[in-house]
Structures are given as C-alpha cells and as structure tokens.
Amino acid sequence: MTITEQETRKAVAECAVTKINGQPTNKDIDLLDDELTAIASSFPSELGGGMHGHAGLIKSVADYEIFAPGTPFIMPSNPGHYPAGPIPAVQRAQREAEHKALIVQFQTSVGVAKGLKDLILTAVDEDFLLELRDEGIAYLNVTPFQMLTHLRDRWGSMDYVDITALLAECDSPWNAGEVPTKYFNRVDKARRQLIRANVQVDERAMMAKALKCFKDAGDFDPAIREWEARPVAMQTYANLKVLMCAEYAKLNRQDSTTARATGHASANNVVERLAQATEELVAELTEKHAKQIESIIKANSDAMKELTAAISANKATTPASTVNKADKKKTWEEKKKVWEEKKKNAPTCPHCDRKHPNRTADQCWELPANADKRPADWKSVKVT
C-alpha cells in the first residue's frame, strides 16, 4: 500500500459510527448507512460529478442516481506505471501530471473504501459478516456497499413487527412543541423504510394526516384554507411541507414580537410607577415635620416586630412533620397525575402490546437485544 492510501484509510477509520449490539435490525443498518454516507461524502472526489465525495462507495447505482442524476460513481481502476515509450518533450510534463493525478485518485478511493470497511467491522459484530470473509484475504475483495447489502438481506430484513411499527410512526401526530421539519423528516424516513419492504404509503393519505395534525394545533387555519384553495396539481406533499414550515416560522416570529412588546410595556409601566412613588415620598418628607417622620418610623418598626412575633408563633404551633407529610402527599399526587397522563398518551408497544411511556418500542424488554436491561422479576407476556 502507498502512503496516500494508508493515510486516507486511517483518517476514515478514525471517524465515529454507532455501535450495534447483537443482531443488527433494519433500523440499525439504516443509521449505519446514513453515518457512512456522511463520512464518505466528506472525503472529496471528482468522481460521480464531484459534489458528493466518495458517497458512491456506499450507495447503489439507483440511489446515487437520485442525488447525482446522469453522473454515476465509477470506482477508478489502477492506472499502473507511467507508460514507457517515446513521448514528445512538449507533452511529457502534462502527461506526467495527469498520470500522477490518476494515481492519487485511485489511492484515495481505495483508502476510503478500506476505511469504510473498517468502520463497518467496528460497528457490527463480525459474526454477522463471516459469510463474506475469504480465507487468507479476509474482506479484501468485498466492497463497503456489499457489506451493507449483506447485513440488510441476511439480518436486517423487515417482518410484520417492523412494518407495523413503521406504519405507526407514519400515523404518529405532530407535537406542536417541535418544528414541523422534525415531523416531516420522521414520516419520510419511515416511508423510505417501508418502500424497502415493498409497502407503499399513499402520498395523499400522508397529506391528509399532516393536515389533520396542523388543524388540531389550532393556529394553522389560514394556511389550511390557503392550501385548500390551491389547484389540485399544486397540492403535493413537497408543497405542503414548504407551506406549513413557512407558516410555523411566521407564527413563531409574531409570538416573539408580541412577547417583546408586552415585556417593554410592562417595564415602562413599572418605571413610571416607581418614579411617581419617589416623587410623592420626597414631597411628603419635605412637607412634614421631622417628629412626624420619626413617629411613622417608630410605628412601622413596632408593626414589624409584631409581625415577626406572629410568624414565629405560627411556626412553633405547626409541626414540621405535618407540613412535610402534606407537601410529600401533594408531590406524590402530582407525580401520579403526570404519570397517568403520560401513560394514557403513550403508544401501545407492538412487541408486548403494553404501554411503557419511559421506553420506546426499540427499548422493549420483550426484544432479545434488551435482555440485559430486564428487571430480576420481569416476566414475558408471551409466556403462558
């Protein structure tokens, strides 16, 4: 190996990917695919249009065509030694430079590919890749894309449980506390995974669900009326995402402006009242006799002493344990109410048909991957 290849491989392998514990799921492989694509694209290359680095080492021809139409990524071949034979002197410098560039391009691509394979072996237990290993040369003749394809076909294929969970993800409502792009991205990712399982989700059905979510939020009625007034040809899912994100941004700006204006007005009112009170106090002090001021101060001091004594007496007659018990009971009831509301709104887990608000479906104890997290007294719902 050359220095260029070694350095590139090392630089790629030093990047971070999420470790997959146990058998990889389709979701695990999708995340690994996304992470490797981001890493590969960060190493520049003129191949495949020159806009996406070495992402073509991870993507299929069809997937790469989607974001780089008409510019396929083709792994370069080894240009070999500089060609011998007579070369005109005027062309020699140019030919040498071109050959050197081809060498660097080839070495860099090989280094990136080997670094990506190193990352895959770091993320996934090698037991799930042993079918691809050749005696004596290990994974030398295997590409990163072939590794991911093998993992997806052998271990990450989706069954009815995965499909049901993804369909539920598509049906999950929008949380008005988050920006709409998070909702749309979550749904789009679930739809892409469903497509891999040959499950098609109708776009107009997704638009209807999204519109219902924004309608329930209560602030998007003008945008929804604008949407309904558009020609049918303009009512696409892509246009809906643009409209709702723009409406959310507008509402957010207006709320911020209103809050700032209210805050300024309140501050101005406080300043005015304080100035007025100060003026009145100064006038009173200058008009009244010093003895009258002393009398007022003495009366205030006596009243403060009586108030302090009353507070102390009240504390003495109220047992601390009673107060603490009342506070604890109130805190417990509040926590119980929050928990019941949280459990009521939580989705039913597809793995155990129960609700566990503090854990996602991927963290369900019914899954073998989460066996080490089960409590000692845990029992499976599937045991009869």
Read off the pLDDT of each residue in 57-70 and give the average, rounded to a whole number. 90
Q: What is the pLDDT of residue 143?
A: 94
Q: Would residue 371 count as lying in a domain? A: no
Q: What is the pLDDT of residue 281?
A: 64
Q: Would residue 85 count as lying in a domain? A: no
359 φ, ψ (degrees, to nearest 5): -135, 140
Most trustworthy range by pLDDT among 2-11, 54-63, 255-264 = 54-63
Query: Does 241 lie in the same domain as 124?
Result: no
Query: Does 53 lie in the same domain as 190?
Result: no
Q: How far is CA 174 from CA 322, 331, 356, in A?
A: 44, 30, 20
pLDDT digits (tens, 9 = 90+) for 327-361: 666 677 787 788 778 878 888 888 888 888 878 88
Query: Does 137 lie in the same domain as 193?
Result: no
pLDDT digits (tens, 9 = 90+) for 159-187: 778 888 888 888 888 887 788 888 888 88
Q: Would residue 87 count as lying in a domain? A: no
pLDDT of 262 over the 80 cut: no
Query: Does 223 lie in the same domain as 150?
Result: no
pLDDT digits (tens, 9 = 90+) for 279-288: 666 566 566 5
Q: How many other C-beta atoms can be found within 10 angstroms of the C-beta atom of residue 199?
A: 13
Q: Would residue 138 count as lying in a domain? A: yes
Query: Does 13 lie in the same domain as 126?
Result: yes
Give the integer Cα–Cα distance in Å for 23 and 67: 30
Q: Tell which of 108, 129, 154 closes a domain.
A: 154
Candidate from 26-40, 74-88, 227-241 with smallest mean pLDDT: 74-88
* Selected residue with higher pLDDT from 298 and 148: 148
Q: What is the pLDDT of residue 26?
A: 83
Most trustworthy range by pLDDT among 58-67, 88-97, 342-351 = 58-67
Burial 219-238 (b: 16+ CB within 10 A, else e): ebeebbeebeeeeeeeeeee
Q: What is the pLDDT of residue 306?
A: 74
Q: What is the pLDDT of residue 151?
A: 92
Q: What is the pLDDT of residue 267?
A: 47
Residue closest to 157 by CA, chosen among 196, 200, 117 = 196
Domain that holds residue 17: 3-80+97-154
User: For residue 345, what are the contacts with CB-CB under 8 A and spacing of at least 6?
Assistant: 357
Q: Which tokens is 319 given?
A: 């047992």
Query: Does 235 lie in the same domain as 111?
Result: no
pLDDT band at residue 53 using 50, 70 and 90 as cut-offs: very high
Q: Would residue 314 count as lying in a domain? A: no
Q: Would residue 283 count as lying in a domain? A: no
Residue closest to 169 by CA, chosen among 355, 356, 349 = 349
In the chain, the number of structural domains is 2
Q: Tell which of 204, 228, 263 closes a domain.
A: 263
pLDDT digits (tens, 9 = 90+) for 214-224: 888 888 888 88
Query: Does 110 lie in the same domain as 45?
Result: yes
